[in-house]
């Protein structure tokens, strides 16, 4: 690590044997009173996607009232109330390219691609480059990782998963090319090591980190040198960030210990993760916050559950499997359970927004510099349609996006229009994307 009294490079790293830790934005990284300061101080814009499977109980999702200022929140979106000023709810987006015999597979695969998936059960699958990877190609060379792909379910299924569509379409959200799906990580330890491990095999890094009881022990020498060059405010910022890194690592270690003590894990989750779904999800969100705060990556995707998931949610009073419950046939009891599942997933997204808003960056928060899309590739799961998709957009895009609105269309508008607009918001300008017909003009400042 090279440190000068004039300024620190934005890509300053703490290094040790087996570990590398990127740092959050510090005052010392912005040279004072120079033209360069304006450029260096410009916040990096981040783009993230959170996927909710199998649509929603739309009557309980959609806020009341017409298009305009976001007023009273719907029942499912009640947890979004603290973030109303940073939130846009968009009603009546459609993904026409998701209609096919394999509606679950194409709901998932079409969410970020807005493209038709090739019908195949084999390895000759084909889709399109997804919106997140277009952004990653644009500014991924500025970060340690071009993108980060996370999920909640460890899936090893191959072959036909949905009426002639290969399982890969349901298992992976991100595609770096029409024939290259990107594997998502469900295990917190693997994700942690992807962000902070450096050198040797994954097994060697894990063994080394456990011997010394924590990743920060490996970078202590670099950290000591760094602190000598920092002001009081920057020291607090670094200490808070590293405290969070340490806490997330300890939670991962506790989860791994629980797995060792209970050798028969829940088959719906990978081993070595917290037994409670919400604890696992929050840990994965915390890892995303660390990745964005440290500028390790600026592009993330996270699948809260895969399509056709039979996960149950007894912690919220829904012991029934999600997929059968989503085929509600307008049964009031099933609709009530589906609304509870939807509200639970949205509340976890709210946890993410809260964490991002608590991280100070520049003159605002990390949330102010993010653009986040949370939603589903299916509308009404009972009929497998891809109309009136449940969609939330949050964040400020470094001053390029305002919130507090319900954008409600009378006629369906392509989901691809939103993707094209979100790319604009992070500085990636394209003439079109997928089956787009234009942009979401209501999101323009």
Give the burial class of 393: count Cβ atoms within 10 A of its Cβ; 0-12 exposed, 13-18 middle, 19 or more buried. Answer: buried
| Residue in 128, 145, 137, 115 with CA at minimum distance from that of residue 181 | 128
List of domains in the chain: 45-186+273-443 (3.40.720.10)
What per-residue confidence (pLDDT) applies to 19? 64
Is the pLDDT reported for residue 271 higher than 70? no
Is the pLDDT reported for residue 200 higher than 70? no
Q: Under 8 Å CB-to-CB from 50, ≥6 apart: which residues?
A: 301, 302, 304, 349, 352, 372, 373, 374, 375
| Residue in 423, 415, 340 with CA at minimum distance from that of residue 107 | 415
Is the pLDDT reported for residue 279 higher than 50? yes
> Phi and psi dihedrals of 180, rounded to 5?
-130, 90
| Residue in 2, 14, 20, 27 with CA at minimum distance from that of residue 236 | 27
- Over range 388-417, report the average pLDDT: 97
What per-residue confidence (pLDDT) applies to 437? 97
Provide the Cα torsion 203, 209, 215, 219; round to 10°: -100
- Over range 269-277, report the average pLDDT: 75
Between the alpha carbon of residue 218 and those of residues 144, 195, 209, the distances in Å are 19, 15, 8
> What would the pLDDT profile of 2-59 be if each residue is shown by its tens digit?
344 446 776 676 666 556 777 777 777 765 434 444 444 578 999 999 999 999 999 9
> What would the pLDDT profile of 204-222 be if each residue is shown by its tens digit?
545 554 544 466 666 667 7
Of all residues in the chain, what percent carry a pLDDT higher than 90? Answer: 62
What per-residue confidence (pLDDT) applies to 15? 67
> What would the pLDDT profile of 336-377 be if each residue is shown by its tens digit?
999 999 999 999 999 999 999 999 998 899 999 999 999 999
> What would the pLDDT profile of 81-125 be if each residue is shown by its tens digit?
999 999 999 999 999 999 987 789 999 999 999 999 999 988 899
- Over range 198-206, report the average pLDDT: 52
How confident is the prediction for the chain on average, in pLDDT? 86
- Cβ proximity of 52 and 390 under 8 Å: yes
Whole-number Å distance between alpha carbons of 358 and 294: 15
> What would the pLDDT profile of 49-81 be if each residue is shown by its tens digit?
999 999 999 999 999 988 899 999 999 999 999
Between 187 and 259, the higher pLDDT residue? 187
Q: Residue 269: which pLDDT band, with cuts at 50, 70 and 90?
A: low
End-to-end CA distance of the chain: 41
Is the pLDDT reported for residue 408 higher than 80? yes
């Amino acid at each position: 690590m090279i440190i000068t009294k004039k300024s620190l490079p934005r890509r300053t790293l703490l290094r040790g044997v087996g570990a590398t830790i990127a740092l959050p934005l510090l005052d010392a990284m912005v040279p004072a009173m120079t033209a360069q300061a304006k450029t260096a101080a410009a916040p990096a814009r981040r783009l993230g996607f959170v996927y909710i499977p199998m649509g929603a109980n739309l009557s309980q999702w959609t806020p009341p009232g017409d298009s305009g200022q976001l007023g009273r929140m719907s029942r499912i979106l009640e947890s979004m109330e603290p973030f109303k000023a940073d939130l846009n709810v968009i009603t009546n987006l459609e993904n026409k390219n998701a209609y096919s015999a394999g509606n679950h597979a194409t709901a998932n695969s079409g969410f970020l691609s807005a493209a038709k998936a090739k019908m195949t059960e084999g390895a000759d699958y084909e889709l399109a480059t997804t919106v997140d990877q277009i952004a990653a190609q644009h500014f991924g060379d500025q970060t340690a990782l071009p993108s980060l792909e996370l999920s909640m379910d460890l899936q090893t299924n191959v072959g036909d998963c949905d009426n002639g569509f290969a399982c890969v379409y349901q298992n992976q959200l991100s595609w770096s090319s029409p024939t290259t799906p990107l594997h998502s990580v469900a295990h917190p330890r693997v994700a942690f090591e992807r962000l902070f491990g450096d050198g040797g095999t994954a097994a060697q890094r894990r063994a080394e980190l456990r011997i010394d009881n924590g990743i920060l022990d490996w970078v202590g020498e670099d950290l000591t040198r760094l602190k000598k060059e920092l002001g009081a405010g920057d020291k607090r910022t670094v200490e808070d960030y590293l405290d969070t890194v340490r806490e997330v690592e300890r939670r991962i270690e506790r989860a791994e210990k629980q797995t060792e003590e209970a050798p028969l894990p829940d088959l719906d989750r990978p081993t070595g993760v917290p037994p409670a779904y919400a604890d696992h999800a929050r840990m994965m969100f915390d890892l995303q916050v660390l990745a964005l705060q440290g500028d390790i990556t600026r592009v993330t995707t996270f699948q809260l559950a895969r399509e056709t998931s039979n996960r149950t949610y007894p912690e919220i009073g829904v012991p029934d499997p999600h997929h059968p419950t989503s085929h509600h046939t307008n049964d009031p009891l099933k609709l009530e359970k589906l609304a509870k599942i939807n509200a639970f997933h949205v509340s976890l997204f709210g946890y993410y927004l809260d964490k991002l808003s608590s991280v100070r960056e520049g003159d605002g928060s990390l949330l102010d510099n993010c653009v986040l899309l949370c939603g589903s590739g299916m509308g009404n799961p009972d009929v497998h349609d891809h109309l009136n998709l449940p969609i939330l957009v949050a964040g400020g895009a470094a001053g390029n996006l305002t919130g507090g609105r319900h954008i409600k269309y009378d006629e369906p508008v392509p989901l691809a229009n939103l993707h094209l607009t979100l790319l604009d918001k992070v500085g990636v300008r394209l003439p079109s994307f997928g089956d787009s017909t234009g942009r979401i003009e209501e999101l323009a400042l």
